[in-house]
Amino acid sequence: MANEKKIDCVILGLLSHEELTGYEIKKRMDKTLKYFWGASYGSIYPALSDLVNCGLATKREGTENKRNKLIYTITDAGRSYLKEWLALPVQKDELRYETLLKLFFGNEQNTEQALSHIKAFEEKIKKELPYLLEAEKALKDYLDEDTAHKYYLITVEFGVKTYRTYLEWCEEAKKILTDSEE
Amino acid sequence: MANEKKIDCVILGLLSHEELTGYEIKKRMDKTLKYFWGASYGSIYPALSDLVNCGLATKREGTENKRNKLIYTITDAGRSYLKEWLALPVQKDELRYETLLKLFFGNEQNTEQALSHIKAFEEKIKKELPYLLEAEKALKDYLDEDTAHKYYLITVEFGVKTYRTYLEWCEEAKKILTDSEE
DNA sequence: CTTACCATGTAAGGCGTTACATGATTCA
DNA sequence: TGAATCATGTAACGCCTTACATGGTAAG
């Protein structure tokens, strides 16, 4: 198996508590993981083939509501591999915010432009925050139903807290720019 | 010119207020931009060549303290290009935290392991925060010296605020895990 | 009947890192 | 004299996204 390819680990993680198709994996990721780990079909389907080739998952055909599906299941080897990866220290946490990049060079543009970048960022966050709050509520209500829920909650809390901080920062950033204008 | 290649824009941004060598560009980025935009020599040097080929920068040889250097200067075309890019809306702000990924799948490992990922994250943040605070102080003290400083301050404030929130989150995350143990 | 969603994939290309290769100078 | 830092690059490779290609089903 290739060394610690993250997309493989993510998929194994998702498969570790239910069988899924490639399409469903993408949906799961778009709903819950996309805040800290994105993936496209172009990386998911090839990764699934690799996992099968390496014996970390198995593939079988299935039919559901008249639709043909390729259902993937994690193997024991897959579970071991996942556990080994989880035990290793984190290699990299990376943040790449183009918004901050453009603001950093704000002196080369006019104040209005910088403000509009901040406002666009603010709107995006305000649009996404309700989904996180919804997830937070659902997880808190059913925390005891599944031991996995507290781990999901931890990651959602990260999102809620940072998003609220982002909004506070937007206010402060706008203030710094408008105060210095007059 | 290739369409909006970010590394080109970053370099032009840095060149927009001083001439620099490739080596110095890397140092600048490691000190200030690395919190939201990283880059390696393997991307910087080729990008510099591209910029010269496209007429967005010029290269000249220079000697300083007995050392030979290749000094890059932004051209008028380079300034225009930078301004155009700054005026365009932000395309993507991306966060990729492997720490959150491993915690999301925490149910597949033991609580101790999950806690150790949180602690490692906490330590990394605690180690970096002082540098941000130092930069914050310096920028606030000399805010009026240069109109660019308020833009730098905005990005540093982003770091300070989010890092403090990260530390609060670490406490909460640890609490969620240990409370559910007993 | 046509739009949206379900479902699976491939190919080309972009973008970047790591490791390698080289060599000068400074400082302890 | 050996390590650290200054300084510039290349090559191989990894990993991912975008766009393309295809076709079935559900719902309005």
Report the gap between the CA of B176 and the closest CA in chain A (Å). Answer: 7
Going by pLDDT thresholds of 50, 70 and 90, the confidence category of residue A2 is: very low
- Residue range B118-139: average pLDDT? 96
pLDDT at residue B2, rounded to an integer:
41
What single string gives the DSSP state of each residue in A103-159? HHTGGGS-HHHHHHHHHHHHHHHHHHHHHHHHHHHHHHHTTTT-TTHHHHHHHHHHH
Q: Is the Cβ atom of A92 within 7 Å of strand D at any atom?
A: no
Nearest residue on chain B to A176, judged by CA atoms? Answer: B150
Q: Which residue is nearest to nucleotide C19 (CA to C1')?
A: B42
Nearest Cα of chain B lies from the Cα of A95 at a distance, in angstroms, of: 4
Contacts of B173 in chain A (CB under 8 A): 154, 157-158
User: If you average pLDDT over residues B123-135, what whole number do you get?
Assistant: 96
Mean pLDDT score, A164-177 = 98
pLDDT above 60: residue A114: yes
Write the pLDDT tens digit of every residue in A27-39.
999 999 999 999 9
Residue B92 amino acid letter: K
Q: What pLDDT does residue B86 have?
A: 96
CA A40 to CA A35: how far, in whole Å? 14
Contact B161 A168 (CB under 8 A): yes
Position A181 pLDDT exceeds 50: yes
How do residues A116-159 score in pLDDT, each as one tens digit?
Answer: 999 999 999 999 999 999 999 999 999 999 999 999 999 999 99
A176 vs B contacts (CB less than 8 Å): 150, 153-154, 157
Residue B16: is its pLDDT beyond 80?
yes
Confidence band (pLDDT; 50, 70, 90) for B181?
A: confident
Identify which of B50, B42, B40 has the alpha carbon closest to the alpha carbon of residue B9. B50
Angle of CA points A29, B3, B156, to nearest 5°: 65
